[in-house]
Amino acid sequence: MRHVCKIYPPRSRRGQPVLAIADITFDVIQGEFVSIVGPSGCGKSTLLRMLAGLLPISGGEICVNGYPVRGPHSDIGIVFQSPTLLKWRSVLDNVLLPIDILRRSRSEFKERAEELLRLVGLWDFRDDYPNVLSGGMQQRVALCRALIHDPSLLVMDEPFGALDAFTREEMNLELLKLWAQRRKTVLFITHSIAEAVLLSDRVIVLSPRPSVVDSIFVIQLPRPRTAHMQYSDAFQEYAQRIRERIGIARVVVEPVDDASS
Ligand SMILES: Nc1ncnc2c1ncn2[C@@H]1O[C@H](COP(=O)(O)OP(=O)(O)OP(=O)(O)O)[C@@H](O)[C@H]1O
Ligand SMILES: [Mg+2]
């Protein structure tokens, strides 16, 4: 991303344009796992949609694999916050949806779909419809769908935000396993600082809107990462430093004064 800027046009005739992203520049290296954190409304989802070519940029340049993004492209797999599965398609058919859209031959990708579904423990559910799956299972199907066409870049917008803490941790570790096996480049948007530290090689902190890159943290925790690492001093220190950049650490919670109640 080079000096990327986004101005949303006014929504009504008397409305004002919204400067969502002021100036964002960063690189993601092939095979790297990078997280983006920042205050709500700073433009993270906007950035992701522009990267996927789903939304035009207002200035600057975004390149994927050396080519400028000019519209939707198949170099990318996307996982949104909600699974967005088609309820009238079986699990297997949902995973194969991008293949149908790209007009590729299904038989060529059947094996890959099977492999992905096995990897996330959902092969037994291949003929079921999304409504019989839990939220975590649906999100795993969405992950397989994002990977079916073997994109070099996987981008995820708070993919586990709606899941309970337990399932979320499980999904994080599963994602790391998958990433280690496939060596995809991953750009991961999250509200959870702990999640960002646990998963990433680098964490990019965005400023409040209109956003710029506030800081970039290189996370030098050993791999493979384990859930247990969250209790280490090094982990806590990264989390604290990132928290300070986002400004959360500056909020002081006053102790309740018993005498006055
Ligand atoms: N279609 C739109 N038209 C006008 N303004 C928009 C539009 N979509 C988003 N915005 C504004 O752009 C800014 C960035 O929005 P965006 O959804 O990218 O933020 P975000 O960082 O993903 O927030 P969150 O963390 O809450 O998901 C916000 O101020 C939002 O109000
Ligand atoms: Mg968002």
Domain boundary assignment for the chain: 1-9+28-75+153-160+186-250, 79-150
The predicted pLDDT at position 163 comes to 82
Q: Give the count of alpha carbons within 13 A of 135, CB side only.
A: 14
- At the fourth CATH level, the homologous superfamily of domain 1-9+28-75+153-160+186-250 is P-loop containing nucleotide triphosphate hydrolases (3.40.50.300)
CA distances from residue 4 to 22, 28, 34, 154 in whole angstroms, order as listed: 7, 14, 18, 20
DSSP state of 92: H
**Closest residue (by CA) to atom 2 of ligand 1?**
8
Strands 211-218 and 18-24: parallel
Please name the residue that has the structure tokens 């038989």: 107
Q: Beta-carbon neighbour count of residue 204 at 10 Å? A: 23
Residue among 36, 44, 195, 246 to mutate when testing ligand 1 (max atoms within 8 A of CB): 44
Are the CB atoms for 187 and 26 separated by under 8 Å? no
Please tell me the predicted confidence (pLDDT) of residue 178: 85
E strands in 28-70: 33-37, 59-61, 63-64, 67-68
pTM of the predicted structure, to 2 decimals: 0.90
pLDDT at 261: 44
Enter the DSSP assignment of 232: S
pLDDT of residue 200: 97
- Answer for the pair 13, 35: CB distance below 8 angstroms, yes or no: no
Closest C-alpha to 158, from 2, 38, 3:
38
pLDDT score for 247: 81
Residue identifier of the C-alpha nearest atom 17 of ligand 1:
45
- pLDDT for 21 equals 97
- pLDDT at 160 (0 to 100): 87
What whole-number distance in Å separates Cα of residue 140 and Cα of residue 1?
Answer: 29
- Whether 145 and 95 have beta carbons less than 8 Å apart is answered as yes
Report residue 180 CA to chain centroid gap.
16
225 class by beta-carbon count within 10 Å (0-12 exposed, 13-18 middle, 19+ buried): buried
β-sheet bridge partners, residue 8: 18
The predicted pLDDT at position 161 comes to 84
Averages of pLDDT over each 10 residues, the chain, 261 residues: 97 93 96 95 95 95 95 91 92 95 92 90 95 92 92 92 84 87 91 94 96 96 92 96 81 58 44
Question: Which numbered ligand comes closest to the C-alpha of 54?
Answer: 1
Give the ligand 1 atom nearest the CA of 191. 25
